[in-house]
Chains A and B, each alone.
Chain A
C-alpha cells in the first residue's frame, strides 16, 4: 500500500532554515509528482509547490519563490522540502502529498510535520 512517511517535528529560530523529508513506499517513486502543502494553526491549506521525482523539475508558488527548494533522492524514494529565512508566520504543519497522475488530485498524504518558528 502507498505510504508517505514524513520526518518529525522541528523547532527553529527566526532566520534559520528547515528541511522536511517525505519517504515514499508502495509504488514506483518516479512515476508520480509530489506536492507540498502547508497549514498554519487554525488556517486553511496553502499550496507550496510540486516536484517531478523522475527528472527533479519543480514549480513553486510565487509566495515562496527564492525561499523554498524541493529536491528528491531516487535511491531512497524520498523527497525533501527546504524553507529558508524562517519567520513566525511559517509556523505550520507541512504535508507532502502524491498526485493521482498529474492532475493535482492529491490522493495520498503524509502524516504532516509540525514546524514551529520561535525565538
Chain B
C-alpha cells in the first residue's frame, strides 16, 4: 500500500487561506469517505483536525475545513494564525487498513 501524496510544504501570510492536497487512488481516498487530517507540532503527538472528509471534532476552530473530489482530498485553513504553523498529515481508509500521507509543513510567513 503506497503512502498518499502530499506537497512537502505550503505557506501563507497571517489572515490568508491555504489549501493542502492529499492524492490517493480509488482504493483509498476515492473509494471511501474516511479521510482524516492531523496537525502535529514539533515534539508533540498528532491532533485530529478533520475526520470523515469534512467533519470537525469538538474544539477544532471552524477555520479548518476538509473536502474531497475524486481521489484527492483537501484541507483548507482560513484566516491563518501563527499557531497554525505545523506539520499536517492526511490519512485514509484503504479496506481493512489505513494509510498516511507523507506530510506537509505549513509555514505562516
**B46 touches A (CB below 8 Å):** yes
Partner of A107, one of B1, B48, B103: B48
Of A11-19, A43-51, A76-84, the segment with at least 4 beta carbons within 8 Å of chain B is: A43-51
Point out which of A44, A59, A61 has the most chain B C-beta atoms below 10 A from its C-beta.
A44
Which of chain A's residues 59-105 have a Cβ closer than 8 Å to chain B? Answer: 59-62, 95, 97, 100, 103-105
CB contacts between A and B, total, < 8 Å: 70
Query: In the bound complex, do residue A105 and residue B46 qualify as a contact, i.e. CB atoms below 8 Å apart?
Result: no
Main secondary structure of the interface of A (DSSP, over half): strand
Q: In the assembled complex, which residues on chain B have CB atoms less than 8 Å from the CB atom of A35?
A: 98
* With contact pairs A45-B89, A112-B45 given, residues A104 and B103 touching in the complex (Cβ less than 8 Å): no
Q: In the assembled complex, which residues on chain B have CB atoms less than 8 Å from the CB atom of A59?
A: 96-97
**B64 touches A (CB below 8 Å):** no
Q: How far is the CB of A75 from chain B (nearest CB, A)?
A: 26
Q: How far is the CB of A80 from chain B (nearest CB, A)?
A: 19
- Rounded to whole angstroms, the CA-CA distance of A95 and B47 in the bound complex is 12
**B12 touches A (CB below 8 Å):** no
**A111 touches B (CB below 8 Å):** yes
Tally A residues with Cβ within 8 Å of B.
24
* With contact pairs A105-B48, A105-B51 given, residues A45 and B100 touching in the complex (Cβ less than 8 Å): yes
Q: In the assembled complex, which residues on chain B have CB atoms less than 8 Å from the CB atom of A5?
A: none
Query: In the bound complex, do residue A111 and residue B52 qualify as a contact, i.e. CB atoms below 8 Å apart?
Result: no
Q: In the assembled complex, which residues on chain A have CB atoms less than 8 Å from the CB atom of B93?
A: 103-104
Query: In the bound complex, do residue B102 and residue A110 qualify as a contact, i.e. CB atoms below 8 Å apart?
Result: no
**A109 touches B (CB below 8 Å):** yes
Q: 0/1 per residue, B2-21, Cβ < 8 Å to A?
A: 01000000000000000000
Query: In the bound complex, do residue A46 and residue B97 qualify as a contact, i.e. CB atoms below 8 Å apart?
Result: no
Query: In the bound complex, do residue A45 and residue B98 qualify as a contact, i.e. CB atoms below 8 Å apart?
Result: no
Query: In the bound complex, do residue A44 and residue B100 qualify as a contact, i.e. CB atoms below 8 Å apart?
Result: yes
Q: In the assembled complex, which residues on chain B have CB atoms less than 8 Å from the CB atom of A100?
A: 48, 51, 57
Given A59-B96, A104-B36; 6 other pairs, CB 8 A cutoff: A44-B101, A45-B46, A47-B91, A47-B99, A105-B34, A109-B47
User: Which 4 A-B pairs rank lowest in CB-CB distance, beginning with the nearest?
Assistant: A105-B51, A109-B45, A44-B103, A45-B100
